[in-house]
Structure 1
């Protein structure tokens, strides 16, 4: 059974150090790792020392760097409501190997990613983004609270800007 490792020490409290990766990499069923530490040096380490383990991006704002270092997949919360825009970055970097275009797309995505990561509203933003696209999500679970009207308006503007900007980049 193929297994994807998941390194997210901020959430698990248990980072996968090099020794752990060495041991796990000897097992044939550990075939990929979703790296979510936020430490770009880990991306370098994984790409150089463990090339037989597929690298998957788990840090939205580092997707361009992951793709430059050979990642071929990306797990992104906002892809639930902006799949075309996220695919555009993947396609530019992984399929076309056009990192100039990739930088343009990433530049357009960064304001959205910054909004998602600031102020503890990640889940609320993802759910609201889905709602904007007509996807029923239900309420956020307690103790989380819904976004206020001002944040919703700002988020709507950010999403609209991302869509327009990336559409323009991809149509040139």
Structure 2
């Protein structure tokens, strides 16, 4: 696992994860950026999926992106932490990794899910992301793609605190 600061739409990985809304029809933030970069074919492919529930994940081709696939997941809206948000966010990561494996992906890049307009506290979200991915990413190369320096610092601190795995 590694963390980097980049535009997720430029990464040459097998799959990128899209922090989507439940309709999967594009929106703001990373979702809008992915839709713009992938081209109009992505919107048409998403229409065929019929939406997605919070904590679940569905895939489409990457179309004009360097990534072969886009895995769309719907993160929880922060409601103070008492509405199952932590488990729903962890489910986004688990389900995205499951879909990546089903696609035969070897490398996956995640954005910071739910920390934008869904207002999930960034430090809490990063801890859930790293902990969940660490336990479920067997055989996958995972990148946490941070748009801003503050998020990058959170992920790098969490990753550097992990025990190093040996042979």
Q: TM-score, normalised by structure 2?
A: 0.36
The structure with more radius of gyration: 1
Q: TM-score, normalised by structure 1?
A: 0.35
More helix by share: 1
More strand by share: 2
Indicate the structure whose relative CO is greater, using CA pairs within 8 Å and at least 6 residues apart: 2
